[in-house]
Amino acid sequence: MHHINKSVELLDKLRKGDNRAFEEIYNTYAEDLLRYGINILRKREVVEDMVHNIFADLWKKRSQLEIKNLRSYLFQAIKYQIFNHFRSNKLSQEDIGRINIIDLSINISKDLEYEELEKIISACIGKLPNRCKEIFILSRYHNKSHKEIAADLDISIQAVKNQISKAIGVIREVLTQKELIAAS
């Protein structure tokens, strides 16, 4: 959770032209991007240029960037750079295997984002008042209808709807604050 907040804070400072925020982003991610790229491409100088280009582009476009997850954005950028490198050069059989690795790692990255989102949502649900939490879990995780929940808990259907709306509102607010969804 702290990592996400730190990332959002750094991005905010970066958009405002803060050199220290840019340096911190670079120091946090450049080595990982380099290592990742070298593992796939096996050409250190080429990957160093790619990483340099990614960060130069990040700085140049800082005020227009709409990044939700900095780590994912940077890793997508290196994957894109590697893919373009392969596309613009003659591919060997080994290179084709590496492209498959890139594709697999994009899927893994999406899975990690999903897991991170699930953790945040679970934490939100955990903080809901007991009755609200119980109703939300019955609705969303046990797929019970409003009518079934109302009958099980001996409350009105409207009370069920109100509690579910309350839970969704809390989750939406947290996700909006973390810039994981757009404000409505």
Same domain, 78 and 16: yes
Same domain, 92 and 136: no
Q: For residues 13-45, b (16+ Cβ closer than 10 Å) or e, as one string?
A: bbbeeeeebbebbbebbbeebbebbeebbeeee
Domain that holds residue 84: 2-127
Domain end point (choices 127, 143, 166): 127
Same domain, 97 and 19: yes
Q: What is the pLDDT of residue 141?
A: 76
- pTM beyond cutoff 0.75: no
Same domain, 111 and 142: no
Digit-coded pLDDT (tens) for 103-118: 555 555 555 566 777 7
Same domain, 120 and 133: no
Digit-coded pLDDT (tens) for 72-88: 889 889 988 888 887 77
Same domain, 37 and 116: yes
Residue 159 sits at the vertex; the CA angle it makes with 154 and 162, to the nearest 5 degrees, is 150
Number of structural domains in the chain: 2
Residue 66 sits at the vertex; the CA angle it makes with 60 and 67, to the nearest 5 degrees, is 95
For the chain, which ranges sit under pLDDT 50?
A: 1-2, 184
